[in-house]
Amino acid sequence: MNGNGAPILATKGISKSFGPVRALDGVDFEVGRGEVLALVGDNGAGKSTLIKAIAGIYSIDAGELFFEGERVSIRGPNDATRLGIATVYQDLALCDNLDVVANLFLGQEELAPGPARAIRALDETAMEQRSHELLDQLSVTIPSVRSEVGTLSGGQRQQVAVARSLLGEPKVVILDEPTAALGVMQTKQVLELIQRLRERNLAVIVISHNLANIFEVADRIFVLRLGRKGGVFDATKTTEEQIVGAITGAEFGEGETGEMRRQP
Amino acid sequence: MRLRIGDPDYAAPGDAPAEETSPLDLMRRFLQGDLASLRVIAAIALIWIVFELQNDRFLSAVNLTNLFLQITAVGLISVGVVMALLIGEIDLSIGAVSGFAAAVMAVLNVKQGWDPALAVIAGIGTGAIIGLVQGFLFTRFSIPSFVVTLAGSLVWQGALLKVLGSTGTVNLTNSEIIKLADTFYSPAVGWIVMAAGVGLFALITLSGYRRRLAAGVTSEPFGLLVARVVIVAVVAVVAISILNSDRGLPLALIILFAFVIGFQFLTTRTVFGRHLFAVGGSAEAARRAGIGVTGIRVIAFTLCSSMAAVGGILAAARLESVNQSSGGSNLLLEAIAGPVIAGTSLFGGRGSVWSALLGATVIGSISNGMYLLALESSVKYMITGGVLLAAVVVDAIARSRRQAEGRV
């Protein structure tokens, strides 16, 4: 349940300040292959900062990043992508006026073979074929791969955004609030998609405010509180109350119960 | 507790079944697809019928040939305008650029004795450089494009006067350049060009269908493709018959179609075109997808100004001169309104190069018809303005309806 072997991505004591505000304060964090790790915390607890540090949006002030056991430095989004870390942000960044195929391959279009390559002609047939394969593997249900993305539901759009992140064959997928603003059925579709990412042996990091969703999908729950680690919990052996306690700091002191229940 | 993946009961009941193929759905796709421009074609038919009823010379071969010659320049400029509109920007300098580029060409050819072909290339190059500069200013300093190009419009207007010198006009009467607008091909050549064009279209349609079939990707029904080829062939045959019964197929029309088809290919079948639409749809999404948004914008403005130059050169060839009012009057407004009338959005990301041709035909038909009816200028202005306004309103309504449906 807790990933296979060594963590694929780990941080050791990373810190990040914005002026006088210490957004991250010596955070140790790790996620393994085939594991869904939920990242929770109150507003301003440092969730986004942690994600952006891993995704290369922010540079860290102190601490170390390890990828597949090796120390790495991530200086920009491209470094993260090259390592195999894909991030799906809350606003999805899709072009509503383009169809699903065009969005999946945006910025990495397949070129037609032969002389047409000289003028960078598109190979629509190949892209459509690969889109079908990818979406079928993920059991994503959309009316047609030629539907304009703007006509899709919120859940379908989220699924397209996740599918797009998989085209680069990443090893770690970070999802920022994937179920925010979704209806019940759509939320379920997205949660099922997350399960399938785990089945593909990807490491999945999910930021969410919705504890019910988290308990449905996560293997472990990592709590951030005021920029520090508030504990790591096994989702099958923890109650929502305990997580809420760790988030608010009301019931459990830093690392007490949380640390006791922390998985090896 | 885990979700039961693979349980059919959980298979997303909220979604529509994939790939509908009912006749009703086919009809809907038919109407929404390439026949979305059906509305515009219907409008053109209506306009033609109304004018024909008022004056039976309107649909004569002579007048229709004139109509096509009249819309060539505006149509070419509109092709460039579509590039700017697709990225959600506007270029208000196209009128002045078309006049200035034509003046550069005319002066180099007539006064400096340059070879006509070189002078034409220099004219188009002038447009390209102007577009490059305006695109750079727009992207580098994040100045709204309408401000950059409005200021540019004044600059190039001044440059036009400067280049033309004290006489204020350069005659092209003795220049080879007027052949661009004054060459008509014999009926035989007309038929051959038409047959080649329709044959190529049929070949591309068929090979695309076969490739998709071979790859196992769903394609439009074969009957629909055949119908499309047949419609294109019939229209082409009728058009060539009409042209041949007058002076023949004009070179200017071949030039117009060559640019329209070329840009249609560029925008719909290449990576550049895909990125053009992406930038127009969501510049932020395009940027995050690793697209060089600045580069795309600069190229779009360069293409826009280059096509303004091409249109200006054709207009000069037809007028057989370049003068101080070249590129002035309604040209700017008509060149922008044309594509918008025919469905290219002012807000970016939606439209097609065909709209340049269709829009120019709508506007050209109205002004040609009003000319035949010998309407007063006052009435002509008001009618033209009213039509343009109506077109923009239709675009705005379409957009707000899309937003109401949750599409942006």
Radius of gyration of chain B from its Cα atoms, rounded to whole angstroms? 23
What pLDDT, in 10s, does the model give residues A25-71?
999 989 999 999 999 998 888 898 999 999 888 889 999 999 998 99
| In B216-292, alpha helices (H) | 222-244, 251-269, 271-281, 283-288
- pTM confidence score: 0.86
- Flag whether B63 is in a domain: yes
d(C-alpha A6, C-alpha A69), whole Å: 7
In the prediction, which pLDDT does A185 show? 87
* Å between A80 CA and nearest CA of chain B: 14
Contacts of A120 in chain B (CB under 8 A): 270-272
In a domain, residue B3? The reply is: no
CATH of the domain at B307: 1.10.3470
CB-CB neighbors (< 8 A) of B3 in chain A: 188, 191-192, 195, 216-217
Distance from CA of B92 to the nearest CA of A (A): 25
Would the CB atoms of A120 and B270 count as touching at under 8 Å? Answer: yes
**Domains of chain B: total:** 2
Question: Looking at the domain assignment, is residue B214 inside a domain?
Answer: yes
Q: In chain A, what are the domains? A: 1-84+171-180+201-264 (3.40.50.300), 91-169 (no CATH)
Answer yes or no: do B178 and B193 share one domain. no
Whether residues A125 and B212 touch (CB distance < 8 A) is answered with yes
Closest CA to A49 of A40, A58, A41: A58
| Percent over 90 (pLDDT), chain A | 49
Task: List per-residue pLDDT tens for chain B, 408 residues long.
Answer: 333 333 333 333 333 334 445 566 555 555 554 455 777 888 899 999 999 999 999 999 999 999 999 999 999 999 999 999 999 999 999 999 999 999 999 999 999 999 999 999 999 999 999 999 999 999 999 999 999 999 999 999 999 999 999 888 999 988 899 999 999 999 999 999 999 999 999 999 998 899 888 888 877 888 889 998 999 999 999 999 999 999 999 999 999 999 999 999 999 999 999 999 999 999 999 988 889 999 999 999 999 999 999 999 999 999 999 999 898 878 999 999 999 888 898 889 999 999 999 999 999 999 999 999 999 889 988 988 888 788 778 777 777 776 666 544
pLDDT score of B12: 38
Cβ within 8 Å, pair B274-A144? no
Q: Do B406 and A150 touch (CB under 8 A)?
A: yes
Q: Is B77 exposed, middle or buried (0-12, 13-18, 19+ CB in 10 A)?
A: buried
Interchain CB distance below 8 Å, B281 and A95:
yes
Please tell me whether residues B290 and B348 are part of one structural domain.
yes
Report percent pLDDT > 70 for chain A: 93
Q: Is the pLDDT of residue A253 over 50?
A: no
- The answer to whether position B205 is within a domain reads yes
pLDDT at residue A254 in the model: 45
Which residues of chain B have a CB within 8 Å of the CB of A96? 281-282, 349, 407-408
Sheet (strand A62-67) strand order = A21-31, A9-18, A62-67, A70-72
Residue A233 has pLDDT above 80, yes or no: yes
Residue in B closest to A122 by C-alpha: B270
Q: Mean pLDDT score of chain A, rounded to an integer?
A: 87
Q: Please check whether residues B230 and B270 belong to one and the same domain.
A: no
Collect all residues of chain A within an 8 Å Cβ-Cβ radius of residue B205.
none
Indicate whether B271 and B125 sit together in one domain: yes
- Residue A258's identity, in one-letter code, is G
Any domain includes B18: no
Q: How far is A89 from chain B (nearest CA, A)?
A: 11
Which stretches of chain B sit within 8 Å of chain A by CB? 1-3, 5, 10-20, 211-212, 215-217, 269-272, 274-275, 277-278, 280-282, 284-286, 288-291, 349-350, 402, 405-408
- Rounded Cα distance between B133 and B128, Å, is 9
- Whether residues A191 and B3 touch (CB distance < 8 A) is answered with yes
Within-domain flag for B158 = yes
Whole-number Cα distances in Å, A165 to A159, A173, B271: 10, 8, 20
Residue B44 domain flag: no
- Residue in chain B lying closest to A190 (CA): B12
B204 & B175 share domain: no
In a domain, B300, yes or no: yes
Range list of H helices, B87-115: 94-106
Predicted confidence (pLDDT) at residue A258 exceeds the cutoff of 70 = no
Same domain, B145 and B212: no
Higher-pLDDT residue of B164 and A182 is B164
Domain stop point among B247, B271, B297: B247
**Domain residue limits at B238:** 187-247
